[in-house]
Copies of this chain bind each other. A is one copy, B any other.
Amino acid sequence: MIRIGIDVGGTGLKAGAVNEKGLILSKVSCPTRAERPYQAVIQDMAGLARSAAVQAGCDWDKVASVGVGIPGVENAATGIVPFCTNLGWHQVPLRDTLSELLQKGVRVGNDATVAALAEHVAGAAAGTQSSVLVTLGTGVGGGVILDGRPFVGCHGVATEIGHLIVKMDGILCSCGNRGCWERYASATALIREGRELARKQPEGMIARQVEGDLEAITAKVVIDCAKAGDPGAVALFEQYAYWVAVGLANLINAYDPEVILLGGGVSAAGDFLLEAVRARLPELVFFKTMPYARVELARLGNDAGIIGAAMLY
């Protein structure tokens, strides 16, 4: 059983043929060129889908389904994408347009939800009943799998978990609210705090690492300095791990999943991040004597988009 997964990003389109186990058999891609009319972009998706099948040696007739992950949401009742900022889309009938071009059933999902589904089927959450993927990147995204299925809620607006408010009247977020979790748990937050620290401590390791060029501070610089034991960077990273853990405690309180996976750029810190976050959780969970979600690293990286999209059936 071969399924096609399409991963739609603001800069690139990717498609792959995926088998039942979530293994990618072929992978093709092209630039999105999102400035074009949506019809042209969808046409390219259709072309990629057919190429992916060909490259996997699979007749189009044998393709069981097509799934698409988008950086936005779909109104599941109508199949219309109401808006998609990265693509400049408004009211785009993605599902039906692509379905007609491909003569196949098409399902559309949010890219973060799709990545969570991929980890659930073929990654670090395989074999679990329920899982939450948290991507610690420029922002904080994520997807929730309950009883083996993507959870999107009643109107399709669930699980923008990076925008759960963890600090009322806190830092202003791009969404207009104050105190969203992603203002504290994203790579952006690590960089902001790293720059702030370097400003205050021009002799500290972070400032020295970038030779005083604060703009050159990345999440990796901050993490590397913390790993190297610089006291300022260690304290900063511990604060960051606490901020991540507060949000994870909220996710545990809300979803009580079997496992929470950390993905996204910051998760490249690996066990260093994992141990720091795990250490803060016991004090934060509500039921101190009950078991709660394990926290692990996500495993599929960039392939999660294609695999998860293919698993949307």
Q: Which residues of A contact B (CB under 8 A)?
A: 73, 75, 82-83, 129-130, 146, 151-161, 163-170, 175-177, 179, 184, 243, 246, 249-250, 252-258, 283-293
Contacts and interface: CB of A to CB of B under 8 A. Distances in A.
A176 B177 CA distance: 27
B158 A255 contact: yes
B155 A83 contact: no
B165 A166 contact: yes
B254 A158 contact: yes
Nearest to A75: B290
Contacts of A82: 289-290
- Where chain A touches its partner, the secondary structure class is loop
Nearest to A151: B146
B253 A176 contact: no
Contacts of A146: 146, 151
A186 to B, nearest CB: 15
A253 B156 CA distance: 10
Nearest 8 A/B pairs, CB to CB: A153-B256, A158-B256, A254-B254, A154-B258, A160-B286, A167-B168, A157-B287, A163-B286
Contact of A177 (B75, B169, B243, B284): B284
Contacts of A176: 283, 288
Contacts of A246: 165, 168
Nearest to A164: B250
Contacts of A283: 176-177
A255 B255 CA distance: 9
| Most B Cβ at <10 Å: residue of A146, A158, A257, A285 | A158
Given A146-B146, A168-B184, A246-B168, A154 B293 contact: yes
A160 to B, nearest CB: 5
A254 B151 CA distance: 10
Contacts of A129: 154
Given A290-B73, A290-B82, A256 B164 contact: no
A163 B250 CA distance: 8
Nearest to A289: B82
A254 B291 CA distance: 21
A287 B255 contact: no
A243 B168 contact: yes
Given A130-B153, A165-B246, A166-B167, 12 more contacts: A130-B154, A146-B151, A153-B257, A154-B293, A157-B287, A165-B250, A167-B168, A167-B179, A168-B184, A176-B288, A177-B286, A254-B254
Nearest to A283: B176
A309 to B, nearest CB: 21
A249 to B, nearest CB: 7
A157 B254 contact: no
Contact of A253 (B157, B179, B253, B289): B157
| Most B Cβ at <10 Å: residue of A75, A166, A257, A291 | A166
B157 A73 contact: no
A76 B303 CA distance: 36
